[in-house]
Amino acid sequence: MEPCFLTAAQAAAEMKAGRLTSETLIRSCLERIEARDPVVKAWLHVDRDHAIAQARELDKRPSMGPLHGLPFGVKDIMDTVDMPTTYNSPAWQGHRPTRDAACVGIVRHAGAVILGKTDTVEFAFNSRKAASSNPYNAAHTPGGSSSGSGAAVGDFQVQFAFGTQTAGSHIRPASFNGIYAIKPSWGTVSREGVHMISAILDTVGWYGRSVEDLILGALAFRLDGIDALAAPEPKGMRIGYCETPFWDQAEAGAKKAMAASIERLRKAGAIVEEIVLPAHFGDLAEAHTMIMYGEGRVALHDEYLRHGAGLHPELRLTVENGRGVTPRRLVEAFDLSDICRKEFDAIASRYDAVLAPASTGEAPRGLHTVGNWIFNGLWTLLHTPCVAIPAVHGELGLPVGIQLVGPRLSDARLLAVAQALQSVIDVNADERARILSAA
Amino acid sequence: MEPCFLTAAQAAAEMKAGRLTSETLIRSCLERIEARDPVVKAWLHVDRDHAIAQARELDKRPSMGPLHGLPFGVKDIMDTVDMPTTYNSPAWQGHRPTRDAACVGIVRHAGAVILGKTDTVEFAFNSRKAASSNPYNAAHTPGGSSSGSGAAVGDFQVQFAFGTQTAGSHIRPASFNGIYAIKPSWGTVSREGVHMISAILDTVGWYGRSVEDLILGALAFRLDGIDALAAPEPKGMRIGYCETPFWDQAEAGAKKAMAASIERLRKAGAIVEEIVLPAHFGDLAEAHTMIMYGEGRVALHDEYLRHGAGLHPELRLTVENGRGVTPRRLVEAFDLSDICRKEFDAIASRYDAVLAPASTGEAPRGLHTVGNWIFNGLWTLLHTPCVAIPAVHGELGLPVGIQLVGPRLSDARLLAVAQALQSVIDVNADERARILSAA
């Protein structure tokens, strides 16, 4: 098997055993990119020589940390000191920050090779779409705004990539691209040097190809309790499945993913019960929208003044408050989410994990859309950790995942549960590699 | 009178009337800096020629906005494209960002001359102190972390300067330096490009020498409702004075400032009543500490990895969790503040403004301290707008202010109330100019 097809954890084990070098791994990823990027278009910047030089340097050194020698793609709303940072904005082409975003610095320090910058919706907010396509069908979106990151990890071009989530920009692309993702609890990963939309929503996460991969990232970020993961058994585990108040928007793909996951979990001996959230959780979608536009208006004000008519119309509309945000509605949205956050923690604490849809279904056709975030926005607003796991293939042959959700700041415990359940829920891992190795 | 002694609003009016140019104003400020900086040490970077060049350029142009031609000092944790940004950290000397922080971009767009970078506590958090001294007595602190910004505006070296507040870093220096300040409602001013400590606490504000000055800044930032300020009368106004649950820490200065303000307000015909906050507000100091250290731990992780043993011991301790932050205590702190935020809004909505102490008293002696933030942290955590107004001189001859506080997102209304009350509360403005013009 070409090294680019390994999971990060497998590659790390191979390197540790002396059977693989970082340089070989990186060269394999670069070859895959070269072969596939004309179609998948995941990257805005890859510097082949610079990537190989980083890998060679790491091959000479003792291990720097859990990501030593492993490649990381960086969503292009994150500052990088050695690569351009454009936010996929026409106005910022060639922009060169003079320091790394904190999250980039942290994975570099843990030994990662920064492979390049991945395409994104402009400023990761409702505007110019990434050029990236879904690795399973180029006529379909990989989702967004973390479009290139999701597509690159899904297409076996890179083991890790950063995404961010303000509505559903991180977990939904994981579902669409057949990959794993963690959106950590709000506040556990620094957003310094990441272009902001909303202080209360924006969350940095990472993609991988197994829960073990996600754990390697969590070790680099030192998420609380990650050093002492207990390994629970699926048998007897209590899982609450939560269709959310937005289940009427579920398509065949989400229904299949949820039903299959529930069935597989029960077959593995887990106790699976339905969670019905209190009725006022149904107002979280509107609260989320109000906060995203209210905070987005502030966040984009400077870009609006800089770029004037050159700014994307949707971003201009946001700054001009075309969404009718008022102080009263904004405060009400904050207050409702505060209440629900506490209530959901109490509900989730009765279970080992909460199972929820990760997207409304398969990736929609067309690159003008990034899909519907309705099954993601509430968790972003509730600050919960979310772990996406691939579950099924839909009618169109595209992957669809689910997510496991936990109470705030239970990230390590949630990852341990996800690790125990990944082989129960994700039965198509080999199939995905087979399909895409032939692509 | 030398132009540097004008308030921003006065200088703007002079410029509008054709009696003052930006260049003349900036030259006056630069002369004041040259004369006083050896003692006050407010600045980390001033480029005389660059400041004059900006002013000349603005003198040639039609007005760009409410700050046209007025000088602004920028706290050196904020990125500037044309000046170094060091965070007052030995590790970042000479660092040159390639874009402005959003707040800097916004005031530039409104016509401000960026006069230079002001000294700050390293990373604005508990570490290496600014070299700045109090303009009224160089043996005393100007407060911090917005040390240089507070001292420079107080010493009549610049009309405006940015500060930030995570605990009491913005409002307390206003009290210590005899100046006006607004800490806007959380979330109303972008923090893009400002070194972060805490997503839920960090707030960008600005200093001025009158409420009208603060309003000019608020116009640049387009705070909600600022275009349509009503002008209330002090007579019949309802003011709630709130000693807070931490009144036992008030020194003679804070007691005098509060007593004098209450007396002056009553004399002006306002109805002044005491507000006693519910007992659980007393736990906000601990909640604030938990959140500041919990989020600070995440925010400083990257600096810790970069600089290792070179990082200030207090910052190292924070990252190493020497303060014993746990997920449970952090969640409890978030939940308590959510509850109090809503409760305080309800209380404050019954008044035109809430009067509260801005510092425990006069600036303490010594530059090893920046003073006690106990009367500031709760408002930062509650996300309320706060407007600082100078009130009295204490036993040592140093100024002490008070603050007016309102419910979340009522910034424009609070500024209108503050404008009506400034001449009632601040009876020493001429005295301050007299003292310092002789310094």
Residue in B98, B192, B410 nearest the CB of A96: B98
Give the angle A206-A132-A129 at the CA atoms, nearest 5°.
Answer: 95
Cis peptide before B145 (omega within 30 of 0): yes
CA pair distance B130, B133, nearest whole angstrom? 8
Find chain A residues with C-beta within 8 A of B323's C-beta.
none
Query: Is residue B405 classed as helix, strand or coil in its secondary structure?
Result: strand
CA distances from B270 to A190, B170, B235, B239, B264 (A): 46, 27, 5, 7, 9
CA pair distance B386, A124, nearest whole angstrom? 32
Res. B239 pLDDT band, cuts 50 70 90: very high
For residue A38, give every residue at least 6 positions away whose Cβ sits within 8 Å of its Cβ, in sequence order, or none.
none
Q: Is A302 close to B97, i.e. CB distance below 8 A?
A: no
* Partner A contacted by B259 (CB < 8 A): no
For residue B13, give every residue at least 6 positions away whose Cβ sits within 8 Å of its Cβ, in sequence order, or none.
none
Q: Which residues of chain A have pLDDT under 50?
A: none
Residue keyed to tokens 């899909």: A371
User: Please, where are the H alpha helices in A206-311?
Assistant: 211-220, 252-267, 284-299, 301-307
Q: Looking at residue A75, what DSSP letter applies?
A: E
User: What pLDDT, in 10s, does the model give residues A287-339?
Assistant: 999 999 999 999 999 999 999 999 999 999 999 999 999 999 999 999 999 99
DSSP secondary structure, A92-127, as one string = GTT---SS--HHHHHHHHTT-EEEEEE--SGGGSSS
Residue B129 annotated among the catalytic residues of the structure: no
Token representation of residue A280:
């006022």
Find chain B residues with C-beta within 8 A of A342's C-beta.
335, 338
User: What pLDDT, in 10s, does the model give residues B363-390?
Assistant: 999 999 999 999 999 999 999 999 999 9
User: What pLDDT, in 10s, does the model give residues B317-361?
Assistant: 999 999 999 999 999 999 999 999 999 999 999 999 999 999 999
User: What pLDDT, in 10s, does the model give residues B2-19?
Assistant: 999 999 999 999 999 999
Amino acid at B153: V
**Pairing mode, strands A238-241 and A271-274:** parallel
End-to-end CA distance of chain B: 15
Q: Which helix (H) or strand (E) holds A48?
A: helix A48-60
**Pairing mode, strands B43-46 and B113-118:** antiparallel
Contact A226, A411 (CB under 8 A): yes
Q: Which residues between 149 and 178 in chain B have a beta carbon less than 8 angstroms from any beta carbon of chain A?
A: none
Q: Looking at residue B382, what DSSP letter applies?
A: H
Q: Which residues between 17 and 76 in chain B have a beta carbon less than 8 angstroms from any beta carbon of chain A?
A: none
CA pair distance B379, B406, nearest whole angstrom? 10
Contact B115, B26 (CB under 8 A): yes
What's the number of CA atoms in the CB half-sphere (13 Å) around residue A47? 13
Contact B121, B127 (CB under 8 A): yes
pLDDT at B398: 98
Contact A75, A146 (CB under 8 A): yes
* Active-site residue, from A169, A175, A198, A410: A169
pLDDT at A80: 98
Contact B126, B318 (CB under 8 A): yes
CA pair distance B216, B182, nearest whole angstrom? 11
Beta bridge partners of B46: B116
Q: Is B301 close to A338, i.e. CB distance below 8 A?
A: no
CA pair distance B35, B60, nearest whole angstrom? 29
Res. B229 pLDDT band, cuts 50 70 90: confident
What is the average pLDDT across B285-291? 98
- State the best of B98, B201, B302, B341 to mutate against chain A, taking most chain A CBs within 10 Å: B302
Give residue limits of the domains in chain A: 3-279+336-437
- State the best of A192, A227, A382 to mutate against chain B, taking most chain B CBs within 10 Å: A192
Distance from CA of A296 to the nearest CA of B (A): 9
Token representation of residue A61:
């050194």
pLDDT at B3: 98
CA pair distance B111, B68, nearest whole angstrom? 4
Multiple choice CATH, B3-279+336-437, 3.20.20.70, 3.40.50.720, 3.40.640.10, 3.90.1300.10: 3.90.1300.10
Cα dihedral B306→B311→B315→B320 (10° resolution)? 60
DSSP secondary structure, A373-416, as one string = -HHHHHHHHHT--EEEEEEEE-TTS-EEEEEEE-STT-HHHHHH
pLDDT at A116: 98
Token representation of residue B356:
């509260």
CA distances from A292 to A330, B169, B335 (A): 10, 28, 21
Closest CA to A429 of A142, A213, A205: A213
Give the angle A343-A345-A351 at the CA atoms, nearest 5°.
Answer: 120
End-to-end CA distance of chain A: 15
Contact B305, A109 (CB under 8 A): yes
Contact A113, A99 (CB under 8 A): no
Cis peptide before A147 (omega within 30 of 0): no
pLDDT at B231: 80
CA distances from B28 to A116, B15, B133 (A): 49, 14, 21
Amino acid at B237: M
Size of interface A-B (CB pairs under 8 A): 123
B405 alpha-carbon distance from chain centroid = 14
What's phi and psi for B163, nearest 5 deg?
A: -130, 175
Token representation of residue B148:
């240089």
For chain B, give the longest Cα–Cα distance.
61
CA pair distance A75, A205, nearest whole angstrom? 10
Mean model confidence pLDDT for chain A: 97
Query: Is residue A71 classed as helix, strand or coil in its secondary structure?
Result: strand
User: What pLDDT, in 10s, does the model give residues B152-194?
Assistant: 999 999 999 999 999 999 999 999 999 999 999 999 999 999 9
Q: Is B342 close to A335, i.e. CB distance below 8 A?
A: yes
Give the angle B121-B123-B128 at the CA atoms, nearest 5°.
Answer: 40
CA pair distance B299, B302, nearest whole angstrom? 7
Q: Which residues between 394 and 423 in chain A have a beta carbon less than 8 angstroms from any beta carbon of chain B?
A: 408-410
Residue B267 annotated among the catalytic residues of the structure: no
CA pair distance A435, B420, nearest whole angstrom? 71
Distance from CA of B338 to the nearest CA of A (A): 6
Contact A125, A291 (CB under 8 A): no
Give the angle A171-A96-A222 at the CA atoms, nearest 5°.
Answer: 45
**Pairing mode, strands A203-208 and A399-405:** unpaired
CA pair distance A76, A78, nearest whole angstrom? 5
